Amino acid sequence: MEGLKRIEGWDYVTISEICETITDYVANGSFASLKENVKYLKERAYAILIRVTDYSKGFNGPFIYIDKHAYEFLRKTKVFEGDIIVGNVGSIGLAFEAPKLDLPLSIAPNALLVRSKARNRFLFFLLLSPLFQNHIRLISTKSAQPKFNKTQFRNIVIPYPPLPELFPVSLIRTSWTCN
């Protein structure tokens, strides 16, 4: 990570090295198979297709729903409470933790589902940091609708603490700067 201030004792790893999951909606199949198996519903159904716009609206709806068949078809993108969602088209870099809602969740297009092997909370606060947001801008296309892909995201190098209990997560928000 160019311009990254080194922190003694911390490792520098790619996002993919610390995550068990980095995926998106299209990981479930071709556009044709997605169109055939996933129908967006306005009326309440088996699951919610969680979107960045749902976060922006405080998870108060209206939601896009999917039936049980679609939810099972989207098996690679089932979302659980506390999972991290990152906008990768339009609202690039916007990150939030999945809430507990009264229905199962699956990720919608235009976002990544990110699940750390450990220290999910650390990763979440890192994704919110100005340092990380700057790197998101660097990997994004400069078009009418900015975007980045999951491969670019996976390859971002981040600082990673050896013992999280010795380094409060708040450090990310208060002390990291770009040179």
Residues 40-77: tens digit of each pLDDT:
999 999 999 999 999 999 999 899 999 999 999 999 99
Gyration radius (Cα) of the chain, Å: 17
In terms of C-beta density within 10 A (0-12 exposed, 13-18 middle, 19 or more buried), how is residue 71 classed? Answer: buried
Q: Which residue from 122, 114, 119, 115 is spatially nearest to 171, judged by alpha carbons?
A: 122
Q: What is 11-174's CATH superfamily?
A: DNA methylase specificity domains (3.90.220.20)
Residues 129-174: tens digit of each pLDDT:
888 888 888 888 877 788 888 998 999 888 877 754 445 554 554 4
Q: What is the pLDDT of residue 5?
A: 63
Domain regions of the chain by residue span: 11-174
Q: What is the pLDDT of residue 116?
A: 86
Q: Which residue from 72, 114, 74, 73 is spatially nearest to 97, judged by alpha carbons?
A: 114
Q: Mean pLDDT across the chain, nearest whole number? A: 85
Residues 72-128: tens digit of each pLDDT:
999 999 999 999 999 988 888 889 999 999 999 999 999 999 998 777 788 888 888
> Is it true that the peptide bond before 62 is cis, omega within 30 degrees of 0?
yes
Give the Cβ contact number of residue 44 at 10 Å.
11
CA dist., res. 171 & res. 26, Å (int): 35
